[in-house]
Amino acid sequence: MRLTEILKQPTDKEFVVRGLDDFSDKELEEFWYKKKLFRKGKTEDFPILFLGLSTKDACNYACIFCYGPEFRGKEGGTPLTLDEQKKLIDEGTEMGIKSVIYCGNGEPTIDQGLTKMIKHTHDNGLISIVFTNGQLMGNDEEAYKYHGMNAKELTSFMYENGVSLVTHIESLDAELYEKITQIPGSFQKMMQALTNIQDVGFTKISQSSDGKMITRLAISAIAMKWNFFELPELLEYAHSVNAQYLCKFPSFLGRLQQNKDVFFIPSEDATLWLRENYVRKLSEKPESITVDYLHCGAWHYGIVVGNNGDIRFCYSATVNPNNRIGNVKEEPLQYLVKRREDIFVKMLEKGETCPIKAQWYKVNKNESR
């Protein structure tokens, strides 16, 4: 696909992901109407669609752009137990959530409690969204190590328990892929994972009432100088397997700080132009958990609970000590959601729609918004 063709492309999504952005216009309108009533003090019920649960702060990759190392081990406190995580899922269910998003500062599939959380989520009638590099779904040895089943069995377990996957793939070239992940042999296992993902049914599509194609797989890529001209190929590959395609520029955090020469400087005019006219033309939405192209599943439609129980502003940032919302070990989720909303309203009054952009990713010569 040539640049001239990309520039002419509409930005409408071809695929939506089950449980993440397949909500109908009517459902979203009802959500915002309930939120409006809450803000006016006409109801005590706060609407929420997503519960984000941060998994183990560790990863089996060492990607050159990863934000995780900047935050791992810095939250303090002790990690939530499996029972505490299940209790949170129960609380969220009572509040009306539709999906549980598993993400965080690491790789969710190496959290040994993940399959139990997924099963509990499914038993509650909810959808699990798992952000993953896919490695365990193509690696028998690692799948056995963490979950006592082979890679195909793990993939089948996820499918049978209602999971939707967001899988990170920065290149279809083996040498480049492993140069990015820093893990020898990772490409072959990732390709085996994709085979298993297709074989068990993740890429079967259904159609929503408003004509959108619903899939249970998204393929996500970070845009950098090394893979910049491969991004259209990744789009074509994603659509060939009925997957939603996401690509974006990264935030200048974590390992990226040591690999700046591989990435585009966010504050430069050329980068801003490429973001709007190339990267976002390719991507089916601006960010991974965007729900309606404008609003975030972590902040506007849901809430994120950190590995230690603190309420986070985003999956990609731990809690700013100067603006701590609270911890689910100390107070019910319902109270913390409402308190978070009060902070959001105050930020809106200041003209700030995203706390991450406002507090963590200030734009200067070396940082990203």
DSSP secondary structure of 290-317: BSSSSSBTTTTSEEEE-TTSBEESBTTB
Is 368 inside any structural domain?
no
Handedness of CA 55, 56, 60, 65 (dihedral sign): positive
Token pair of 321 as six digits = 């000590």
Q: Which pTM value belongs to this model? A: 0.91
316 secondary structure, DSSP code: T
Is 163 inside any structural domain?
yes
* Whole-number Å distance between alpha carbons of 182 and 63: 6
Is 366 inside any structural domain?
no
Q: What is the pLDDT of residues 19-45, one digit of tens each?
A: 999 999 899 999 999 999 998 889 888
Is 296 inside any structural domain?
yes
Tell me: pLDDT of 322 over 70: no
Q: What is the pLDDT of residues 265-285, one digit of tens each?
A: 887 899 889 988 899 889 999
Is 364 inside any structural domain?
no
**Domain containing 320: what range?**
3-359
Q: Which of 151, 86, 139, 136 is nearest to 106 (CA)?
A: 136
Number of compact structural domains in the chain: 1
CATH of the domain at 275: 3.20.20.70
Mean pLDDT estimate for the chain: 88
Is 182 inside any structural domain?
yes
Is 324 inside any structural domain?
yes
Contact 83, 309 (CB under 8 A): no
pLDDT at position 44 is: 87
Q: What is the pLDDT of residues 160-181, one digit of tens each?
A: 999 999 999 999 999 999 999 9
Q: Which residue has the tokens 């049914």?
A: 201
Q: CA end-to-end span of the chain, whole Å? A: 29
Handedness of CA 348, 353, 359, 362 (dihedral sign): negative
Is 365 inside any structural domain?
no
